[in-house]
Amino acid sequence: MERVNEDRTTESLPNQELADETYTFALSAMTTLFFIWGFLTALNDILIPHLKSEFDLSYTQAMLIQFCFFGAYFIVSPFAGKLVERIGYRCGVVAGLLVMAVGCLLFYPAAEIAIYAMFLFALFVLAGGITILQVSANPYVAVLGPERTAASRLNLSQAINSLGHTLAPLFGASLILAGAVGAQAVQLPYMLLAGVMILVAVTFFFLKLPVIRSVEDAEQAATTDDSVWKHKPLVYGVVAIFLYVGAEVSIGGFLVNFFAMREIGGLNEEVAGRMVSYYWGAAMVGRFVGAALMRYVRPPSMLAFNGLAAIVLIVATMTADGSVAMWSILAVGFFNSIMFPTIFTLAIRGLGPLTSVGSGLLCQAIVGGAVLPMLQGVAADIVGVQLSFAVPAVCYFYIIWYALRGSRTDREPAFAT
């Protein structure tokens, strides 16, 4: 007997009002997941300086934290997609949360035996769970309701994701960096997070969520002669996502150590850790501002302007001292805000039945968050942290090019913005 995927058909609802209420409840539930993975991702910015100090690591070695974390996106994404196709979105969410809980629990033995490699393994498992969660939640939210409001639903979810990014450094600074002694300082925070993951997983297991279509695009894509590799905006967009995520994550990972430098801020780790919230908080504010401005400004123009602003701010960071350097690098977060969703949208334009395939490639490109921090770590060991910000600056040059030229379709003139 052929197995029926729980997500193949749309649940019949008695009337539109009931449908709207059901979708609103489901969206509220799913949005909590965006907060969770945003929170756990930003917590790495606190983990990096703590473990660097505890294990006396070089910057390159410390950036293995981001390498293992974001490397999981590239490795796990294809398997996560197949898993979700078999078990459905809701069970995919539950599976992702449970894997994340296992990753958090692994921090306890890692701290007990005080082996850095064990921390890296725990982070890889944790990120693998987040990958499953994203593969389940992103498409579900996108189709959870009328197509005309899909963008607003995703913007709302991404804003909540940024809220998680903003609050995580405050949590980490208070429980990990404040008077922390030894690797054991991470045990309590990550045990608490494991408990939350398990509680949320149990809740989602018993939730009654609308059943939605998930395989139509894949079935249509199988019958078309088109290929994603023929769509240059997508191909160039994969590189843009790779560089953007790499730049954003790389900057966040160096902030605590940068602010601790005597000529910059001379802050202790706890205070510097709290300052990281301004970086991610600026991205949250910028997302709302950018969404409003895009009603009047074309997305490519907004993307190019934000890329230029980020470069100017990084140059100021590299050449100034004191508060100017501090607030310049923090302000980059504001201009990062609209980059990911804008690049994503420009890249998948006109893909039709290949949209899901293209989206998968773009999600795999998040592996840039593993590679660029390592490159900046190498640079920091050679020329110092301040000058190492040249690495993410180069990434924004490509993003400007993508906005002005690389994202245009064959029907658009060069540099159409």
Q: Are residues 161 and 269 in the same domain?
A: no
Is 196 within the bounds of a domain?
yes
> Among the three residues 155, 187, 214, which one is the final residue of a domain in this structure?
214
The CATH number of whichever domain residue 232 belongs to comes to 1.20.1250.20
- The boundaries of the domain holding residue 67 are 10-214
> Among the three residues 214, 249, 277, which one is the final residue of a domain in this structure?
214
Say if CB 243 and CB 395 are below 8 A apart: yes
Q: What is the mean pLDDT of the chain?
A: 86
Tell me the residue length of the chain: 417
CA-to-CA distance for 57 and 324, rounded, in angstroms?
Answer: 28
pLDDT tens, 371-402?
999 999 999 999 999 999 999 999 999 999 99
Q: Are residues 172 and 246 in the same domain?
A: no
Please report the pLDDT score of residue 315 as a whole number.
98
> Among the three residues 151, 184, 214, which one is the final residue of a domain in this structure?
214
What's the mean pLDDT in 49-73?
95
Q: Are residues 207 and 226 in the same domain?
A: no
- Sequence-ordered list of residues with C-beta below 8 angstroms from that of 70, at least 6 positions apart, any chain: 127, 245, 249, 366, 367, 368, 369, 370
Q: Are residues 340 and 239 in the same domain?
A: yes
Is 1 within the bounds of a domain?
no
Q: Are residues 335 and 388 in the same domain?
A: yes
Say if CB 137 and CB 93 are below 8 A apart: yes
Q: Are residues 158 and 249 in the same domain?
A: no
Q: Write a three-state SS string for the chain.
A: CCCCCCCCCCCCCCCHHHHHHHHHHHHHHHHHHHHHHHHHHHCHHHHHHHHHHHCCCCHHHHCHHHHHHHHHHHHHHHHHHHHHHHHCHHHHHHHHHHHHHHHHHCHHHHHHHCCHHHHHHHHHHHHHHHHHHHHHHHHHHHHCCCHHHHHHHHHHHHHHHHHHHHHHHHHHHHHHHCCCCCHHHHHHHHHHHHHHHHHHHHHHHHCCCCCCCCCHHHHHHCCCCCCHHHCHHHHHHHHHHHHHHHHHHHHHHHHHHHHHCCCCCCCCHHHHHHHHHHHHHHHHHHHHHHHHHCCCCCHHHHHHHHHHHHHHHHHHHHHCCHHHHHHHHHHHHHHHCCHHHHHHHHHHCCCHHHHHHHHHHHHHHHHHHHHHHHHHHHHHHHHCHHHHCHHHHHHHHHHHHHHHHHCCCCCCCCCCC
Count structural domains, the chain.
2
pLDDT tens, 81-132?
788 878 888 899 999 999 999 999 999 999 999 999 999 999 999 999 999 9
Position 12 pLDDT exceeds 60: no
Q: How confident is the model at residue 220 (pLDDT cuts 50, 70, 90)?
A: low
pLDDT tens, 232-245?
999 999 999 999 99
- From the CB of residue 269, how many other CB atoms can be counted at a distance below 10 Å? 21
125 or 218, higher pLDDT: 125
Q: Are residues 61 and 150 in the same domain?
A: yes
Position 413 pLDDT exceeds 80: no
187 or 18, higher pLDDT: 187
Q: How confident is the model at residue 223 (pLDDT cuts 50, 70, 90)?
A: low
Greatest mean pLDDT among 3-7, 166-170, 173-177, 341-345: 166-170
- Sequence-ordered list of residues with C-beta below 8 angstroms from that of 74, at least 6 positions apart, any chain: 364, 366, 367, 370
